[in-house]
Copies of this chain bind each other. A is one copy, B any other.
Amino acid sequence: MDFNNLRINGKRLRETIETSAGIGATPNKGLIRCAATPEDKIGRDLLLKWYKEAGCEVTIDEMGNMFAVRPGKNRELGAVLTGSHFDTQKPGGRFDGILGVLGALEVMRTIQENNIELERDFIITNWTNEEGGWFAPACMGSGVWAGNHSKEWAYERKDRDGKTVFGEELEKIGYKGTFPCSYKEWNIYAAYELHIEQGPQLEQAGIQIGAPKGILCLHWYDVYLEGTANQVGPTPMVGRNDALLAASEMNIVVNKVAHQMGNMVGTVGEIQNYPNSRNIIPSKVHFTVDIRSWDDEHAVKAWKMMKKEFEVIAERRGCPIRTEEFWKVAHAPFDQELNDRVVESAEALGLSAMKMYSGAGHDMSEVNQVTRGAMIFVPSIDGRSHVEVEETPYEDCENGVNVLLQCVLKTADEV
């Protein structure tokens, strides 16, 4: 059989995505299906059924990660693994993560119905709690699997309301498996993850397939400012120590530096203002700075520039400043060979493709640390994700899954 002419079933893919979209559906076409909740259980039960119908052997590990295996001819060789996450933000959309899980399933179904025997094992996965939408942090299942957290630590994570712990809720829905959660239990040769872009670049460029070279570095900082809480009316403009005004100037600096330096993004996403009263001069402000770039040094340089300007503003406004580094993740390049293969596979299918970067983290950020990995992106309408209106045209979904199929077939037949 000529694998190059093999295509997935777009109609079936769409129907499967639409069935998934009914589990945890919100009135606005979105989804609320957080990990270790009753909706997650319904979704997983259905996945399990689909995995079995596709002839797979299913393993559920201690973190609830699901692995559906189609054995290869030579089981000593490392497996090809693909998948993503079936959980959503609160609320999220119908494609983020889900396309990667159901696209993997569609690839499995296509291989099974064509009775293709691959050289290597082919494994499709559903990683537990990538979103961290109810139990933080994100990438919990793949993170434990990659050895970055202990399962005991993960079990103790509390929900947003602080009332339940993850391990108990996972057990309640029946998906706390017994198989050890570790990449060491598996022999993986290569991994792919299909995902919506979550940004506007493919759509704006009119390109069908994105091949991220890796994930941008992520540098998170906290800034704390002290002002003087005087009453607004009797306190003249001159001589005020307005912490919110200082923070406002700093937000503009973040934006300016990010624009000037280029090849990066810089954002103030969160702010707390005290006493946050209409007629009191703000006396305390906390805000966050998120900097991402493909070049870690470049990001650090940007932060230094911002900080220097912050200090000048703090001095001028009489608002003492304190900054803290909260979290720092270096940029993570994917496997170059697999990354090239995504572009080649797309082009062989007559699809336009481009190399790019992923600004967001993914399960592949974790998986790529312990094996060779790459991702496939499809366009997000208006670049929206983590919102109910998140949308990717089904034609683009189908294109992405066809690229995934080609990548899997080629990789799983390498000996």
**Chain A positions near chain B (C-beta within 8 angstroms):** 197-201, 204, 216, 218, 220, 228-239, 242, 244-245, 247-249, 251-252, 255, 258-259, 265-271, 273, 276-282, 288, 290, 292, 358-361, 382-387
Contact = CB atoms under 8 A, between A and B. Distances in A.
Given A245-B268, A269-B277, A385 B255 contact: no
Contacts of A218: 233
Tell me how many chains of this kind the complex includes: 2
B258 A269 contact: no
Q: Which 8 A-B pairs have the closest CB atoms?
A: A233-B359, A199-B234, A234-B359, A248-B248, A248-B251, A233-B360, A198-B234, A278-B288
Contacts of A292: 232-233
Nearest to A221: B278
A232 B383 contact: no
Contacts of A278: 220, 269-270, 288, 290
Given A244-B271, A282-B269, A199 B231 contact: yes
B273 A270 contact: yes
Nearest to A199: B234
B269 A383 contact: no
A99 to B, nearest CB: 15
A108 to B, nearest CB: 28
Contact of A265 (B200, B235, B270): B235
Given A201-B234, A237-B255, 17 more contacts: A198-B230, A199-B233, A228-B384, A231-B385, A232-B269, A232-B290, A233-B292, A234-B358, A235-B265, A242-B255, A248-B252, A248-B268, A267-B279, A269-B276, A269-B281, A269-B282, A278-B288
A156 to B, nearest CB: 22
Nearest to A271: B273
B265 A269 contact: no
21 contacts: A229-B386, A230-B384, A231-B386, A233-B292, A233-B360, A233-B361, A234-B360, A234-B383, A235-B383, A237-B259, A237-B266, A242-B267, A244-B271, A267-B279, A268-B282, A269-B279, A269-B280, A269-B282, A270-B278, A271-B271, A278-B288
A295 to B, nearest CB: 15
Most buried by B among A230, A249, A267: A267
Contacts of A271: 244, 271, 273, 276
B281 A276 contact: no
Nearest to A229: B387
Contacts of A361: 233
Most buried by B among A237, A248, A251, A387: A248
B255 A252 contact: no
A82 to B, nearest CB: 21
A252 B256 CA distance: 15
B290 A239 contact: no
Nearest to A258: B237
Contacts of A244: 251, 268-269, 271
A270 B278 CA distance: 5
A199 B382 CA distance: 50
Contacts of A220: 278
B248 A360 contact: no
B273 A233 contact: no
